[in-house]
Amino acid sequence: MPDLSVNIAGKRLLAPVLPASGTFEPLKLPFPSSRFKELGALVNKTITLRPRPGNPPPRVWETTAGLLNAVGIPSEGVEAFVKEILPQLREKTDCLIVSIAAFSLEDFCALAERIACTGLADMLELNLSCPNIERHTSWSSDQALLAEVVRAVKAEIKLPLLVKLSPNVTDLATLAQVAEESGADGLSLVNTFKGLAIDLRAKRPALGNITGGLSGPAIKPLALYAVWEAYKRVRIPIIGMGGICCWQDALEFILAGATAVAVGMYNFVDPEIMWKIIAGLKNYLSENKYDAISKLIGLAHRNLS
């Protein structure tokens, strides 16, 4: 039987497939906990320190090959999350990654410490693609800000730290390297690409927030390129994401350098897709006589020489 397990920041994942934050809510699905434990990990919908309503509707808009969303990180706040949701998620998985976002350095540190002290999370994922309101920029588009927040959070907690970066930058590979040098234990690449749609009937932007983040098949080659370039610059593991719809997509990311993959938009199309991807990867390994998926990580780079 091929070994699908991978290691991320010292944690063994039984499979290299997990959901992207905000795209999969296991507490609302009628699956037994044993099914969720077949996935590499579970990831919550990103939370913030205090409750947030999110953006005004409309929040989603279908495109030709994907989905624009401007949900705006609505959140119940960390206290409600810790009390009502976190314990239930913990019961359903052997690896729980908690995704957090904040709009100030102090809030990031307070939020990270609050989650860490529960003892229920295996890793934290810093969603650094949200705007930093205080300085009117994004944490993940400015090297100094990126280094500052990663170092600050890393100093507060002992949990492994994943850093989720935005692709809406000039040089993502350099930012990935900055995150690693600042203490990140892994990277999540990539978040959505900024986009716009016009409602022809209303003759105005279709989303309540005007712009949104594009996900789905349209961004896969762009996300794959981001993983490819980052893999050449960092040594920490990468969770690749962006337009993954089948096992072949997942395998491309792994060959490009991803240790694991996260499925996003396609969970809305097919709630069973992650298990189908795991089955497809397992069959591929058997048919091609590989005994472990880990042997394929970054293989496309080595095959160039």
d(CA 240, CA 251): 10
The number of CA neighbours under 13 Å toward the Cβ of 133 is 7
Cα distances (Å, whole numbers) of residue 5 to 71, 88, 251, 259, 281: 33, 24, 14, 10, 12
d(CA 90, CA 43): 10
Contact indicator for 190, 243 with CB cutoff of 8 Å: no
d(CA 275, CA 269): 14
Catalytic residue among 95, 109, 117, 130: 130
Quick one: which H or E segment has residue 155?
helix 143-156
At 280, list the tokens.
């497809």
In the three-class reduction of DSSP (H, G, I as helix; E, B as strand; rest coil), residue 101 is classed as coil
Instruction: Kindly report the backbone phi and psi dihedral angles of residue 162, in degrees, each rounded to the nearest multiple of 5, phi listed first.
Output: -100, 140
Place of tokens 């690449």: 189
- Residue 45 DSSP class: P
User: Is 130 noted as a catalytic residue in this protein?
Assistant: yes
Q: Which residues pair with 211 in a beta bridge?
A: 196
d(CA 49, CA 1): 44
Q: Which residues are catalytic?
A: 130
